[in-house]
Amino acid sequence: MTSKPSADFLLVGASELVTCAGNAPAVGAEQSRVAVIENGAIAARDGMIVWVGKEKNIDAEVDVAAEATRLDVGFRAVLPGLVDTHTHMVWAGDRGDEFDRRLEGATYSEILAAGGGILRTVDATRQATFEALLSAAGARLERMSRWGTTSVEVKSGYGLEPASEYKMLETVLELGKRHPQELVPTFLGAHTLPREARGSQRARERYVDLVCEEMIPTVAKRHLARFVDVFIDEHAFGLAEARRVLESGRRAGLGLKIHADQLSSDGGAELAGELGAVSADHLEHLSPEGMSALAQSGTVAVMLPGATLFLRSHAYANGRALIEAGVPVAVATDVNPGSCPSESMPLMMQLACLYCGLSVDEAIVAGTANAAAASGLEDRCGSLEPGKRCDLLVLDAPERRQLIYKLGSPQIHMVVARGLVLS
């Protein structure tokens, strides 16, 4: 006789328990594999799921402690907590005033020339204390959680010099200690060139040297990040520089991510495929060669439709073509002060359906199981299965479609991270 798992947390009353169970990332036809259990229940212990099944089987299959937390969600849909696999959520300062200027027609270059843009965020982030960064990012994390996000990948990249880059990554690590949400730090020293490296080719080369020879080895040695990322773009880094950054990261034992093909076909997806990156992100201008490179390597394509919307570029990543080519697709906010201030994962999943060609169920997998895989978290979250963290969201509706249908304002009844109800 097998012994029943014991539980200190029990959730019942799920009209639809959307588990997204199975291998991640899900590819092709599997992209819509939401694996629903009707009238479902979940049992957990110490924040980890120990049992998932039909509510009527609880007594026979689970040993629920007398003092266990018991939640009856009252015939509502329950989904895995959302995984935001591409964010820049640690920064200081505010750039809300640039929004008016952009609406009046100012270009990116004009805003930069007037002292705005990313370098303004770099100045504010360099000057901010660790505590100030922690408080700003903590407030963002709480708001993101209200939209159902329970795991977040967070990039550095507003320091652009060693001490400030490490300060950003330490902020992410400290946030992870203080909150039940799962945080994954990524080193993005190659986000853009700092002001002091913009004067000459030699200064530029020195900055790439600093990233590859000093910052990456230090970040790896001090376990400050799990991934290294690089921004390939005419305003940022070229393909050869990106290759150097990623190869340095790989030598140091970090996983690889790339900002690729956002404003033009820049060869980023091909490089992601060649180097076996865990994800290639943006892909608004993905080439056919890039698409097949991603399909061959199994790299997850992370779409960031909020940036396309906010920049009014009208170029959305073609999620439909990616899925049909056999590339696993995820979606994320890209939350940052310049190109996408939205903290809402449901909004991004809605845009993925409206503009990138995904179905409701494909978008749900893109924001959960496949996003977990793009963050290196597929063994820990992204689905409701025994052995995973008890991270979930309860919709204030009996069926999952409402998460995507209610544009801009899905009603979320409750969010749970590591078995704790977030208020």
Binding site for Zn ion (CB under 5 A): 334
Nearer to Zn ion, 284 or 334 (CB): 334
Nearer to Zn ion, 50 or 190 (CB): 190
Alpha-carbon dihedral of residues 243, 246, 250, 255, nearest 10 degrees? -140
Return the structure tokens found at 93: 């300062």
Beta carbons of 7 and 44 less than 8 angstroms apart: yes
> Coil, strand, or helix at residue 221?
helix
**CA 156 to CA 294: how far, in whole Å?**
25
Nearer to Zn ion, 157 or 419 (CB): 157
Nearer to Zn ion, 241 or 334 (CB): 334
In the complex, minimum distance from the CB of residue 61 to Zn ion, in angstroms, rounded to a whole number: 43
In the complex, minimum distance from the CB of residue 182 to Zn ion, in angstroms, rounded to a whole number: 19
Longest distance between any two alpha carbons in the chain, whole Å: 73
Nearer to Zn ion, 186 or 370 (CB): 186
In the complex, minimum distance from the CB of residue 405 to Zn ion, in angstroms, rounded to a whole number: 27
Residue type, 256: L
In the complex, minimum distance from the CB of residue 236 to Zn ion, in angstroms, rounded to a whole number: 11
Nearer to Zn ion, 188 or 417 (CB): 188
- Tell which phi-psi region holds residue 411, choosing left (phi > 0), alpha (psi between -120 and 50) or beta: beta
**CA 133 to CA 9: how far, in whole Å?**
34
Q: How far is CA 102 from CA 191, 338, 341, in A?
A: 22, 11, 14
Whose structure tokens read 């060669």? 289
**256-269 in b/e burial notation, b at 16+ Cβ within 10 A?**
bbbbbbbbebbbbb
Report the candidate in 39, 64, 43, 44 with the shortest Cα–Cα distance to residue 54.
39
In the complex, minimum distance from the CB of residue 374 to Zn ion, in angstroms, rounded to a whole number: 13
In the complex, minimum distance from the CB of residue 86 to Zn ion, in angstroms, rounded to a whole number: 6
Beta carbons of 176 and 224 less than 8 angstroms apart: no
Nearer to Zn ion, 116 or 306 (CB): 306
Nearer to Zn ion, 80 or 157 (CB): 157
Q: How far is CA 162 from CA 3, 29, 48, 141, 187, in A?
A: 53, 44, 37, 25, 11
Report the candidate in 46, 144, 48 with the shortest Cα–Cα distance to residue 422.
144
In the complex, minimum distance from the CB of residue 262 to Zn ion, in angstroms, rounded to a whole number: 8
In the complex, minimum distance from the CB of residue 307 to Zn ion, in angstroms, rounded to a whole number: 8
Nearer to Zn ion, 55 or 334 (CB): 334
Beta carbons of 307 and 334 less than 8 angstroms apart: yes
Beta carbons of 269 and 249 less than 8 angstroms apart: no
Closest residue to Zn ion, judged by C-beta, is: 334
In the complex, minimum distance from the CB of residue 406 to Zn ion, in angstroms, rounded to a whole number: 26
In the complex, minimum distance from the CB of residue 171 to Zn ion, in angstroms, rounded to a whole number: 17
Nearer to Zn ion, 79 or 154 (CB): 154
